[in-house]
Structure 1
Amino acid sequence: MPAPRLRPVILGTDLGVYSIARSFHEAYGVRSTVVANSPRGPINDSRIIDAVFTGQGSSEERIVQALLDVAAAHPGEQHLLMVNAEHEIDLVRRHRAVLAERYVVPFADDDVLAAAGDKVELDRICRRLGIPVPASRSVDLAGAGAPGWAPPALDLTFPVVLKPAVSAEHLLMSYPGKKKVYSAADPAEAAAVLGRIAAAGYRDVVVVQELVPGDDTWGRTVTCYVDRTGRVTMMASGQLILGLHAPTMLGNSATILTVPQPGLAEQAAAILRELRFTGFANFDIKVDPRDGRGRFLDLNPRIGRPNYYVNVAGRNPARAVVEDYCPDVAASGGRPGPGGDPADAAHQHVGVYSYLPWSLVRRYVPDPALRQRLAQVRRTEGFAHPLDYPADRNLRRRRYRALSTLNLVRDFRRYYPRPTETGF
């Protein structure tokens, strides 16, 4: 009996969603169905995506029903649900029982997902395992609405970074001056930031960390897939070259050199074992120039927005999840994949993932040796743009990519006109 045809179904519309669809098409030649509120550039006019739009401001119930309708419209296929945003992971957690009747839902148990998405819990685990993290304090805003409330004093060395511990809740909020991640040069500025977040209605914990110095190029990233037996079956890592700096996009990597980071990858795997995590996970790490140690900043219980860097490193994340949850599909074949062990942290392809132009990137790399290495990779292989897929090129997509690049360049001029010693 032939294996059922695979149908990946993905929530969202951003560049990371398109990258997931591209991975499935590269590995198995299948189109993905994207379910989203409304059209958006990265997925528009694509030959590898079927889009289902639920309407702006759709309720959770409407989105879940759309997912069920997609499954019902394609009986006999194996439906694999993929999400790549914190609030969408929460949606799946709340409706897992009904979705699991029609979908393969490749996520860890709810309590594990909740722990993995909590920055306070990551700090606890790292300290227990002896993995370096920045000095930090947790500020609970649960009582911030009470009369006379004031932000507490922070016994930290400034400058500091402030970020909501439960980012899914904060992501859906809207208020003046909102940022994904804040920095504060002194206690007064930190108190002002905490007051602003509290005034917007956020009532959970804000993590305040001592800022690790260094420009963007001191950043590192590790992405893993852990199968249902707890075994890491895919791992990729790289050096951040340049991240986005618009207020709501801070922390998103835009250019990554896919050079192996085996020591950091082993520490990432240890954290996931401690959590008993399964599925995709992505870590943000920063090497401290003062001692050369990588300090773990964030764990995202998802594959992450710049996930196509994993493909540039010679791994295909679609294969990892399909081999785990859809073995019949995996056994039936697919397009030839790259050689080598996808879980080998020390050996991977060296390339550059980037959706920024070289003319911009080179201005933000202060180290001449690193700039020369990037230039050499560019000459020999080019930069891999996640939206530039040879099997999905057309005039409209090319036009969108050009306009998007222009907007990103403008954002850098406005928010980050030159590299700084802190990345802020």
Structure 2
Amino acid sequence: MQNEAETTVLLTQGWCRSSYSALRGLARHGVRVVVSDTSRIGMCQASRLAHARGRYASPYSDPDGFVTDVAGLCKRHGIGLLLPGHEEGELLVQAREAGRLPPGLVLPMVDAATLALVNDKDRMSRLAREQGVPVAAIVDYATPAEAGRVTLPSREYVARARRGNSSKGVRFSRGGEALALTLAEMMASFELDPARTPIVQERVAGDGWGVSCLYWQGERIASFTHRRLQEKVATGGTSTLRVSAAHPTMEADAHRLLAGLKWHGLAMLEFKHDPATGRHAFIEVNPRLWGSIDLSLSAGVNFPWLLYLAQTRGPAVARAHFRPARQGVVARWLLGDIIRRFDMARRGRLGAALRLADGVSADSFDDAKWDDPLVLVGEGLYYLAKGLRTHSMNPLEAGMVR
């Protein structure tokens, strides 16, 4: 354990909601947090809560430079705890195992082999199935042509690259020749390794759910569940509106998977639940901070603070501070909702896009905070700059999908 009074935290990917929620959750208890990113613009960068700010090279286009820069920031600011904000955690775990991070620096994540397993959607789905957790039917195939032969044109399927980012690397298709063409297009456009064909499953109906957890050396400290009410784009991906909820069977499946992995750190497991049948299916694991984490803070589960306590004062203290979440708390991502409405208008649903009232009253917003107002400005400027540079609100960077 570390001395709580001397432990400064470094957050990466400071532009995004997950990192800002972590900053907010830690700063609430007086923790010094240094925020870092490739850009000077973003949510954490604009926040009054940041102790200091730093920059690093892109983890996608310059992974070696990224690790060097992060290690330098840790030395410069006397960082004791490194908390990745997005998918760069795998690079940092590899750097830890290669001895490239400063001595004494804590990165609360599992080993590289376990992280590679859960980040591979195909391998993780098959492991879940082996452990008795429900998953959508998986199509076994070696080539796109074979996938076309063994699937039915009358059924709908979803193809996902083994590593993706939100809705990137996801395609929906009928079976047969249409699926074969879809897979061939994915292999070509994402330049996928022939040995890493996308996972193909039958498409399942239902609502998106998430079970979020903090584990410490294989032991559960905290758990929180939410149900998605709206998503940023029509085909799924990031949620813009969600509510705290409970689903004991789904939660038991999530806890069984993480306990079996001897999990260490944070994770959010995604599921689909079909209210018509009462059945649910495992989708994937996000082995890191997750975009909707602000809802858990609003509902009374401060995951970043509990993690900090586990590291500085021990897991028993963290567990004693955990209280079950309040049910029925609703959180909205304001900018994401605006993007969702643009997507609806683009698809010809102009009336729905312009209808401001959707019948749901939010208790909190991910990005609109009266006590930290510039955060929303920083987020908006980040997306504006990204949109002008890439002509997309959700651009694909080399290495995101593989």
For Structure 1 versus Structure 2, the TM-score category normalised by the shorter chain is 0.7 to 0.9
Pick aligned residue for 2:246 from 260, 265, 282: 260
CA change 1:245–1:115 in 2 (3 A) is same
CA change 1:265–1:400 in 2 (3 A) is same
Pick aligned residue for 1:197 from 186, 196, 203: 186
The aligned residue for residue 158 of structure 1 is 155
> For 2:171 and 2:358, how far apart are their aligned partners in 1?
32
Shift of 1:100: 5.4
The aligned residue for residue 421 of structure 1 is none
C-alpha deviations, 1:78-132, integer Å up to 9, x for none? 521111333x122112211222524211001222112222222322232223221
Conserved 8 A contact 2:139-2:199: yes
**Aligned residue pairs, count:** 363
Write the mapping of 1:56-67 to structure 2, written as runs, cut at 5 A: 59-67=62-70
The aligned residue for residue 131 of structure 2 is 129
The aligned residue for residue 74 of structure 1 is 77
CA change 1:107–1:406 in 2 (3 A) is closer
> For 1:66 and 1:150, how far apart are their aligned partners in 2?
45
Conserved 8 A contact 1:5-1:329: no
CA change 1:100–1:276 in 2 (3 A) is farther
> For 1:243 and 1:123, how far apart are their aligned partners in 2?
23
Give me the TM-score of the superposition, normalised by structure 2: 0.78
The aligned residue for residue 309 of structure 1 is 295
> For 2:4 and 2:321, how far apart are their aligned partners in 1?
26
Determine if the alignment matches structure 1 residue 299 to structure 2 residue 288.
no
Shift of 1:260: 2.0
Conserved 8 A contact 2:21-2:294: yes
In the alignment, structure 1 segments of 5+ residues that lack a partner are 172-177, 332-336, 365-371, 408-413, 416-424
> For 2:275 and 2:3, how far apart are their aligned partners in 1?
55
Query: What's the secondary structure of 1:205's corresponding residue?
Result: coil
> For 1:315 and 1:154, how far apart are their aligned partners in 2?
45
Amino acid at match of 2:123: E
> For 1:403 and 1:100, how far apart are their aligned partners in 2?
33
Conserved 8 A contact 1:4-1:328: no
Shift of 1:271: 0.8
Amino acid at match of 1:301: P
The aligned residue for residue 234 of structure 1 is 222
Please provide the CA RMSD for this pair: 3.7
Query: What's the secondary structure of 1:392's corresponding residue?
Result: coil
Conserved 8 A contact 1:258-1:312: no
> For 1:298 and 1:138, how far apart are their aligned partners in 2?
18
Using the aligned pairs only, state the percent identity: 21
Shift of 1:404: 8.7
> For 1:139 and 1:51, how far apart are their aligned partners in 2?
47
The aligned residue for residue 52 of structure 1 is 54
The aligned residue for residue 420 of structure 1 is none
Shift of 1:330: 11
Query: What's the secondary structure of 1:116's corresponding residue?
Result: helix
Shift of 1:44: 3.5
Shift of 1:5: 2.6
Pick aligned residue for 1:104 from 85, 103, 106: 106
Conserved 8 A contact 1:135-1:210: yes
Amino acid at match of 1:41: G
> For 1:135 and 1:7, how far apart are their aligned partners in 2?
45
In the alignment, structure 2 segments of 5+ residues that lack a partner are 350-356, 386-391, 394-402
Pick aligned residue for 2:313 from 327, 347, 352: 327
CA change 1:279–1:357 in 2 (3 A) is closer
CA change 1:52–1:58 in 2 (3 A) is farther
Write the mapping of 1:367-386 to structure 2, written as runs, cut at 5 A: 375=360, 378=361, 382-386=362-366
Give me the TM-score of the superposition, normalised by structure 1: 0.74
The aligned residue for residue 175 of structure 2 is 186
C-alpha deviations, 1:162-209, integer Å up to 9, x for none? 1012337xx9xxxxxx94321113323221221112113101131111
> For 1:223 and 1:404, how far apart are their aligned partners in 2?
27
Amino acid at match of 1:348: R
Query: What's the secondary structure of 1:181's corresponding residue?
Result: strand
Amino acid at match of 2:8: R
Higher strand residue share: 2
CA change 1:31–1:154 in 2 (3 A) is farther
Conserved 8 A contact 2:151-2:175: no
CA change 1:205–1:359 in 2 (3 A) is closer
Shift of 1:152: 5.0
